[in-house]
Amino acid sequence: MSTVLIVGAAFVGVTALVGGVALMFRGTEDSLVLDRLEVLTNTGATAKTAAAKNNKSNLLVQTLDSEQVSTLESFLSRFLNLRLFLDQAQVSLQPLHFILISLGLFWAGTLLSGIGGVHLFLAPLVGIGMSVIPFVFCYFKRKRRFETFQRQLPDALELLARALRAGHSLAAGFKLIADEMPQPLGSEFGRVYEEQNLGVAFEDALESMSNRIPNLDLRFFATAIVLQRQTGGDLAQILDKIGRLIRERFKIWGQIQALTGEGRISGVVLLGLCPLLFVAIYRVNPEYVRVLFDDPLGKKMLASAIFLQFVGALVIRKIIDIKV
């Protein structure tokens, strides 16, 4: 019982510490929004200095995503741009809140494992598994959003080409796509339209969309528009060719998925068999598995097995992952 109390006290203390650090280093999003409103409504202009007046135009074209980031987020950005990752997954969470949720799940999983009588060596592993749940959720949501965007892109290009032939401008064509196409493509094209309305250069707005959606076909589309605006040409014809190219790639990709289906199923079975068998044996006869944690040779064997599982996953993924 004392062990449970110690783990619970450690959980509460670490959570409070992380929360305090997050409050200390939180960004200035609220002040940025208030400043934006003051500029748009022309309130408080008498209190502004000459330098602040010169920065009004920059404030108008500055996106709300460019607020001051926290120290923790700056450190994590060296390994993962968490803000961009959440934006791509369309999750309305600040990076600090996301990190706090992951830490809370880690300590909750560790505490529940200790209460449930799990071995002390496995309790942190359970906590780590719980902590990556938000990341895995956002990853699959981001992946599904990218796939949906890629399927919608040919229809959007054809709609834009027809709009250009009908006499609409390029910006009006983007507005038409934003109104007619569903999520997520409609919102992304609508964001480009709103950004160029607020004074951002059209090329920069397209570049931002290409960074948010890392899609090769979208990069071709953005490059074609930039070149056409600089050199001229029939943009509608170019968009039709890009749309046909994307549809042909879909056909080839479908054939590859059918041919590599057996390899993907085999990979899932081989990678999931060992952990499931380990859990089953541990529930039936814990003493039989405990040798892997108590004996030095058992620890080496367990570490080697985990490493070989990871290597096997990479090899299987390399075999079935064929670029189109």
Query: How far apart, in whole angstroms, are the C-alpha atoms of residue 107 and residue 246?
Result: 46
Q: How many CB atoms lie within 10 A of CB 111?
A: 19
The CATH number of the domain covering residues in 151-259: 1.20.81
Give pLDDT tens digits for 271-298: 888 888 888 888 888 888 888 888 888 8
Boundaries of every domain in the chain: 2-140, 151-259, 262-320
- Categorize the per-residue pLDDT at 73 as very low, low, confident or very high, splitting at 50, 70 and 90: low
Average pLDDT over residues 4-18: 51
Contacts 24+ apart (CB under 8 A), 62-67: 63/195, 64/29, 64/32, 64/33, 64/36, 67/27, 67/28, 67/29, 67/32
With a threshold of 0.75, does the pTM exceed it? Answer: no
Query: How far apart, in whole angstroms, are the C-alpha atoms of residue 229 and residue 234?
Result: 10
Query: How far apart, in whole angstroms, are the C-alpha atoms of residue 149 and residue 279?
Result: 39
pLDDT of residue 21: 45
Give pLDDT tens digits for 76-122: 555 567 888 888 888 888 888 888 898 888 888 888 877 877 667 77
